[in-house]
């Protein structure tokens, strides 16, 4: 038997928990749903062995988390995975080693009331055995604690995970699990952390404006000082002229125009400065023998604002790719407005 479910997922899981006779193995990243939790506690009271693996973070172990100590006190086996190590992103449950449910559904209020979710339920012996082996491996890689931890979230993690935390706590407020002022307190905490994490900028120190050929450059504006061109057998192609503003991104197509190009080279040079000897970038060798003009090279050139010149070329006939990066020199090859 294999079934796919997209609705009423919580009640389906509760029914499987209530029908379990010997053992339940749960691996979920986040677990806040009280009705699911109550069903798990009832299973423990019936003598069912229950093992749970979950993330050790603010959602699971913070101020609005489940009262997990009651799970432990009733004989439940609890292992944690720290978010600083690796993210245990599974959402599956194995019932009596003969039925497994797995899918996108976290055991949370967001999953139940805000998200589009799915699960698959199956009693296939091979699938159940594979999930059992995997759960046992997760159990070995996770850890237990003597008492259920109360996790205080760091400022960095709070700002990074704010949207996820906000959505789950908002769903908990709507389900009367968290108090009405929880979201306001959350926003206030974010504002206070932001004040500490992003200190006020000191006043800017005036500096001499940067002038380029009578033009005052804006702060941060980058201008290239020398013309840069590509050279190949078919001639030159400029991609950066003196006075152009960086960054620059350009592409082009070259064709090889000699008849029978076997063992011939297609050389691409760069002229980085006026009146300088061309610099050999690279060449394509052992080109296929094709009529004149039938060998194509796609090229792309870019210069970033910090002067990194990147050149890519692809021969669509030989499927060969070339790439080179050259760091231009500030003050010599380009200037930046202050």
Q: Give domain 2-167's CATH number out of 1.10.3720.10, 3.30.420.40, 1.10.10.10, 3.30.870.10.
A: 3.30.870.10
Residue 131 is predicted with a pLDDT of 96
Strand ranges inside 127-187, DSSP E:
none
- Of these ranges, 21-30, 62-71, 142-151, 195-204, the one predicted with the greatest mean pLDDT is 21-30
CATH 2.60.34.10 positions along the chain are 215-336
* Banded pLDDT at 15 (limits 50, 70, 90): very high
Calculate mean pLDDT across residues 38-62.
92
d(C-alpha 155, C-alpha 112), whole Å? 28
Calculate mean pLDDT across residues 273-293.
66
Residue 329 is predicted with a pLDDT of 83
pLDDT tens per residue, range 136-148: 999 988 888 767 7
pLDDT above 90 coverage of the chain, percent: 32
* Banded pLDDT at 271 (limits 50, 70, 90): low
d(C-alpha 169, C-alpha 302), whole Å? 46
pLDDT reading at 56 higher than 70: yes
CATH 3.30.870.10 positions along the chain are 2-167
d(C-alpha 74, C-alpha 81), whole Å? 21
* Banded pLDDT at 275 (limits 50, 70, 90): very low
pLDDT reading at 47 higher than 60: yes
Residue 233 is predicted with a pLDDT of 58
pLDDT tens per residue, range 95-144: 999 999 999 999 999 898 888 999 999 999 999 999 999 999 999 888 88
Is 121:12 a contact under the CB 8 Å cutoff? Answer: yes
Is 270:295 a contact under the CB 8 Å cutoff? Answer: no
Coil, strand or helix at 269:
strand
Question: Does residue 70 come out as left (phi exceeding 0), alpha (psi in the -120 to 50 range) or beta?
Answer: alpha
Calculate mean pLDDT across residues 298-320.
80
pLDDT reading at 201 higher than 60: no
- Of these ranges, 181-185, 258-262, 270-274, 330-334, the one predicted with the greatest mean pLDDT is 181-185
Residue 278 is predicted with a pLDDT of 66
Q: Are strands 266-271 and 308-315 parallel, antiparallel or unpaired?
A: unpaired
Residue 274 is predicted with a pLDDT of 47
pLDDT reading at 92 higher than 90: yes
pLDDT reading at 262 higher than 50: no
Residue 254 is predicted with a pLDDT of 65
Higher pLDDT among residues 281 and 96, named by residue: 96
Range name among 64-68, 173-177, 203-207, 289-293 with the lowest pLDDT average: 203-207
Calculate mean pLDDT across residues 185-214.
67
d(C-alpha 326, C-alpha 226), whole Å? 15
What superfamily does domain 215-336 belong to in CATH? Substrate Binding Domain Of DNAk; Chain A, domain 1 (2.60.34.10)
SS3 content of the chain, % helix, strand, coil (to 5): 25, 35, 40
Calculate mean pLDDT across residues 83-104.
87
Tell me the pLDDT of the chain averaged across its residues: 81
Is 78:67 a contact under the CB 8 Å cutoff? Answer: no
* Banded pLDDT at 77 (limits 50, 70, 90): very high
Residue 182 is predicted with a pLDDT of 86
Q: What are phi and psi of 81, to 5 degrees?
A: -120, 125
* Banded pLDDT at 327 (limits 50, 70, 90): confident
Residue 146 is predicted with a pLDDT of 67
Calculate mean pLDDT across residues 163-182.
86
Calculate mean pLDDT across residues 304-319.
80
Is 69:148 a contact under the CB 8 Å cutoff? Answer: yes
């Amino acid at each position: 038997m294999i079934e796919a479910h997209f609705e009423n997922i919580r009640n389906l899981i509760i029914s499987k928990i209530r029908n379990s006779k010997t053992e339940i193995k749960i691996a979920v990243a986040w677990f806040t749903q009280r009705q699911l939790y109550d069903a798990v506690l009832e299973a423990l009271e019936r003598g069912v062995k229950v093992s749970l693996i979950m993330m050790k973070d603010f959602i699971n172990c913070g101020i609005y988390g489940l009262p997990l100590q009651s799970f432990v006190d009733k004989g439940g086996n609890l292992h944690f995975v720290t978010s600083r190590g690796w993210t245990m992103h599974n959402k599956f449950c194995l019932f009596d080693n003969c039925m497994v449910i797995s899918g996108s559904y976290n055991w949370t209020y967001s999953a139940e009331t805000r998200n589009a979710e799915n699960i698959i339920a199956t009693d296939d012996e091979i699938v159940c055995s594979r999930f059992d082996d995997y759960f046992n491996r997760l159990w070995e890689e996770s850890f237990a604690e003597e008492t259920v931890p109360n996790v205080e979230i760091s400022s960095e993690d709070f700002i990074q995970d704010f949207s996820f935390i906000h959505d789950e706590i908002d769903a908990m407020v709507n389900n009367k699990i968290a108090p009405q002022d929880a979201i306001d307190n959350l926003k206030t905490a974010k504002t206070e952390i932001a004040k500490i994490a992003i200190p006020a900028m000191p006043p800017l120190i005036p500096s001499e404006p940067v002038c380029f050929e009578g033009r005052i450059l804006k702060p941060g504006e980058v201008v290239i000082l020398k013309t840069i061109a590509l050279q190949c057998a078919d001639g030159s192609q400029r991609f950066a002229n003196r006075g152009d503003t960086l960054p620059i991104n350009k592409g082009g197509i070259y064709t090889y125009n000699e008849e029978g190009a076997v063992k011939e080279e297609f050389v691409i040079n760069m002229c980085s400065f006026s009146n300088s000897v061309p610099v050999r970038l690279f060449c394509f060798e052992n080109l296929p023998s094709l009529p004149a003009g039938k060998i194509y090279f796609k090229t792309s050139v870019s210069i970033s604002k910090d002067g990194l010149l990147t050149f890519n070329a692809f021969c669509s006939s030989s499927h060969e790719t070339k790439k080179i990066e050259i760091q231009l020199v500030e003050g010599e090859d380009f200037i930046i407005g202050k």
